Structure 1
Amino acid sequence: MSKTYSYAAQNPNDALKPFQIERRTPGADDVQMDILYCGVCHSDLHTARNEWNNTLYPSVPGHEIVGRVTAVGAAVKHFKVGDLAGVGCMVDSCQHCASCAEGEEQYCENGFTGTYNGPVFGGENTFGGYSDNIVVKEKFVLRITHGEDANLAAVAPLLCAGITTYSPLHHWNVGPGKKVGVVGLGGLGHMAVKIAHAMGAHVVLFTTSPNKREDGLRLGADEVIVSKNPDEMATQANRLDFILNTVAAPHDLDAFLNLLKRDGTMTLVGAPDHPHPSPSVFNLIFKRRSLAGSLIGGIQETQEMLDFCAKHGIVSDIEMIAMRDINGAYERMLKGDVKYRFVIDMATLKEQASAA
């Protein structure tokens, strides 16, 4: 075991503060890495503040991790000391259920183990990327293929925001000839626009903010619709093959279901703290439309996403922060005051630890 410096929430009401945790000594199939950058996901805030009523304290959030390998176990085959590597939302799963066998560990029937906050169905706590190092089984470590000269800090959010949007776009066969709606332009939405555009789809962005029109076009949207404007919304009725809805706040789903063609699907990836109003059944049955949900992706698909993004030069739009600024970043995130993802420079944590 080794002592590791981190930032943790001790309860739902207090700010995150410096905290020492223990990491296991790397085993035969483990990869140890120093964390260079860690993205800040809205799930971090939900968990730190126990808004999903399942937080294990102390809580060390962070599941958008880019680091450099510092040690590998004797059985590790695909990583060596000095390699760039990534860790996303999972660090383990049962490995024997049907979903795991099919490479869909995120849907593990026995519950995957989160990078922080432990197994889905309960168990020993795990500590995430707001720390200076991490030890993870090789099977759950990703290769960073963007290269040393890339903006590695901007690669970090791909490990959650990237795969959360890539997975449904890939599953529902988004590509050339498809007209795809993206609802919301935040941490998830801006990645969805970039990825759907790179897949060759015609991308329509829906936002409540008229001032995001220019940004949406810059990111790759072909059209930007202000969803509060009924006339603009009417121009898209029955025109979309697929909609990826990234908005986490409860809202009227019927307004968007109306925009789908026959046999179109709207997939939800935002996780509201209160349920959406129930959609009308008639909007579904009269056009054979589908309303679906999607989680992250399995490890193989996450690697595919990283390789796809490297090939197309896709990274997240980020604002870098120091570790000590995380509590202020949470408050700004609640106000939507970030374009479009905070990333922590973990060197600032090391500096803080050495000065302590």
Structure 2
Amino acid sequence: MVKAYAAQMASSPLAPFEITRRAPGPEDVQIAILYCGVCHSDLHTARNEWHNTIYPSVPGHEIVGRVVAVGERVSRFKVGDLAGVGCMVDSCGHCASCAEGEEQYCENGFTGTYNGPDAGGGNTYGGYSHNIVVKESFVLHIKHDEKELAAVAPLLCAGITTYSPLRHWRVGPGMKVGIVGLGGLGHMGVKIAHAMGAHVVLFTTSPSKAADGRRLGADEVCLSSDPAQMAARAGSLDYILNTVAAPHRLEDYLQLLRRDGTMTLVGAPENPHPSPNVFSLIMKRRSLAGSLIGGIRETQEMLDFCARHGIVSDIETIRMDYINTAYERMLKSDVKYRFVIDMATL
């Protein structure tokens, strides 16, 4: 049995729980979890806000740890290696998306690190636990210095969620890029877009975040609640990454794009955004898009990119038994900018 923390129902707090992990098979890697980031998706799932939770639910898909066992066919990992696990632990492996290394868009549905179902038809349990067993093809190498390991954990979701669209829409030098929101996702978007060489404009409703935004790599900070500041940037941006996970007026940001500009949504609100005016799109051939994490190949690329550029998440490390308080603080945006659980406290 493996110690974990689980929600038993939507209305119950997370509490100690024991789960069973499978014994490592020939292609499996067993990881002793050292740190696990806390994602807003964890809260959505624990409280069944997306109406698809399988209980008991053990959240956590920003996992870093040390390999403690490998199957006989495993070739890329050995005992003692640092390793990570992100949002997926399996996919069909044979559809067009999987064949192209885009497992997150698996046409038969990828298997989530938690809230499965797993290959045996049960429920997958995530990183709020002492260890995890994952097939080698879904395990990632960690190349950061070990002393940064806690701050690496959020890269497995927040990092790839922002890196993937920035990479897909070819953000780089000479581009003016907007990042909407400075939270767990937004602060990673600012860091990564800056490292890619873009001119970064942070949009926030919080004047108090301006200095932090510049520290993280923003070249400009725009208070989005100020109509004059927004109007001054109309038609000036090549690309916008919108990380806000609460309903808001997309129209206000579409107006900031140049002709042929794109705004990509990565936040997943509980309720829909108000529909934008179609003329905001058709008059400038603008695009409104969405993006979901990245495939395993791209996630490894992101981790390597972040290691080369010295990028980690800004974190607050917490004990496992603080998780319910952390959820309430997360709802109030009272964290800079990601909680990470020290699993030694479980």
Q: What TM-score, normalized to structure 1?
A: 0.96
Q: Which residue of 2 aligns with 1:308?
A: 305
For residues 108-129 of structure 1, give each alpha carbon's deviation from its aligned partner in whole angstroms, at most 9, with x where no partner exists: 0000000000049x95210000
Whether contact under 8 Å (1:111, 1:119) holds in the other structure is: no
For residues 268-308 of structure 1, give each alpha carbon's deviation from its aligned partner in whole angstroms, at most 9, with x where no partner exists: 00001100000000000000000000000000000000000
Shift of 1:235: 1.4
Structure-1 separation of matches of 2:160 and 2:246: 20
Residue pairs, 1:138-287, within 5 angstroms: 138-148=136-146, 150-287=147-284
- Consecutive unaligned residues in structure 1, runs of 5 or more: 350-356
Structure-2 separation of matches of 1:206 and 1:111: 34
Whether contact under 8 Å (1:65, 1:159) holds in the other structure is: yes
Structure-2 separation of matches of 1:119 and 1:293: 25
Partner amino acid, structure 2, of 1:17? A
Shift of 1:234: 1.1
Q: Matched residue of 1:151: which SS?
A: helix
- Consecutive unaligned residues in structure 2, runs of 5 or more: none
Q: Matched residue of 1:186: which SS?
A: coil
Q: Which residue of 1 aligns with 2:27?
A: 29
Structure-2 separation of matches of 1:119 and 1:73: 22
Structure-2 separation of matches of 1:107 and 1:314: 26
Partner amino acid, structure 1, of 2:249? D
Partner amino acid, structure 2, of 1:140? F
Structure-1 separation of matches of 2:144 and 2:226: 40
Q: Which residue of 2 aligns with 1:67?
A: 65
Q: Which residue of 2 aligns with 1:353?
A: none
Q: State the aligned residue count.
A: 345
For residues 297-353 of structure 1, give each alpha carbon's deviation from its aligned partner in whole angstroms, at most 9, with x where no partner exists: 00000000000000000000000000000000000000000000000000001xxxx
Q: Matched residue of 1:305: which SS?
A: helix
Runs of 4+ in 1 over 3 A off after TM superposition: none
Structure-2 separation of matches of 1:198 and 1:70: 34
Whether contact under 8 Å (1:65, 1:86) holds in the other structure is: yes
- The farther-off stretch of 188-197 and 229-238 is 229-238
Q: What TM-score, normalized to structure 2?
A: 0.99
Q: Indicate the percent of aligned positions where both proteins have the same amino acid.
A: 79
Whether contact under 8 Å (1:11, 1:48) holds in the other structure is: yes
Q: Which residue of 2 aligns with 1:81?
A: 79
Q: Matched residue of 1:187: which SS?
A: coil
Q: Which residue of 2 aligns with 1:118?
A: 116
Q: Considering only aligned residues, what root-mean-square deviation do their CA atoms show, in Å?
A: 1.0
Structure-1 separation of matches of 2:227 and 2:207: 13
Kindly indicate whether residue 301 of structure 2 is the aligned counterpart of residue 317 of structure 1.
Answer: no
Q: Matched residue of 1:177: which SS?
A: coil
Shift of 1:151: 1.1
Partner amino acid, structure 2, of 1:172? W
Q: Matched residue of 2:153: which SS?
A: helix
Residue pairs, 1:283-302, within 5 angstroms: 283-302=280-299
Structure-2 separation of matches of 1:181 and 1:33: 37
Shift of 1:147: 2.7
Structure-2 separation of matches of 1:102 and 1:124: 28
Shift of 1:202: 0.2
Q: Matched residue of 1:23: which SS?
A: coil
Structure-2 separation of matches of 1:248 and 1:63: 18
Structure-2 separation of matches of 1:125 and 1:111: 14
Match of 2:128 among 130, 136, 139: 130
For residues 164-215 of structure 1, give each alpha carbon's deviation from its aligned partner in whole angstroms, at most 9, with x where no partner exists: 0000000000000000000000000000000000000000000000110000
Shift of 1:133: 0.3
